[in-house]
Structure 1
Amino acid sequence: MSHVYFTAMKDARGELLNGSTTYTVTFPKNRLPSELTKYFWSIVAVDTKDFKVIPNPANKFIINNQTGVKPNSDGSVTLYFSSKLPEGVPQENWMPTPAGANYNLTFRFYGPTKELQDGRYYPPALVKQPSLAKAD
């Protein structure tokens, strides 16, 4: 198997992803995406109708192993999904989302590990972050 895709349509509470909210996903230090793939991993935001990449004013369309994602102090990695860059968040860890519109995220793993291929691994749940400023 050359690749594995996951689609996230809802957050950890079962609510549809919407650009009026900020979400995070945290990969633990021992479960980083780069350790689950031989070649590369990526995450893109896509519309809910045609699953096409969503245009955004920042012209940023992907987070992957080539975009310089910054680890947390404990070695984990937290990625942010919001229509505006949350204060204090590294731009490399942020994916712009459509303000006020529903969207999906596609997680792509190329050269996946056996664990991914066998369905023993799923990306962590997306968590709504009410403490971060709401996106406009």
Structure 2
Amino acid sequence: MTATAAGHEVGDFLEQPDAAARGKQLPGRVGRRALHRHVAGLTVCQLVMTAGAVRATGLRVPVHAVLAGQAVNSVTHWIIDRGPLLRWYADFSGKRGFHDAAAGGVNGRMLMDQACHKGVLPVAAAVTALLARRAVRR
């Protein structure tokens, strides 16, 4: 999970092109295309980091298990980054003011976004682990 989390940080902050960061919440095809680009790059970063960790540790994790966990992470990343679900949650939970904060060094939406992504990482890791465990039992 640590390698996947590291891949998330690299993909979300270092690999993501400026055009994708600025465009991923735009309406229509332009926004979706920017978001597809970002999530594709993020997914590659996470897979590279995860594959490196699996290889370095000598663990036998089936490819389908890694891909299933990554699919959970990639799909939820797309949903979170698109924006409407996070805005809905901010309204529902009374956190819209924090969500919209962008002054004094605080960006509430980005912090909420990262909290959501980091909350999904253990779920994706659990999917990978469960599928790997089943494969070992066979």
Structure showing the higher helix proportion among its residues = 2
**Interval of TM-score (by shorter of Structure 1 and Structure 2):** under 0.3
Structure showing the higher strand proportion among its residues = 1
**TM-score normalised according to structure 2 size:** 0.25
**TM-score normalised according to structure 1 size:** 0.25
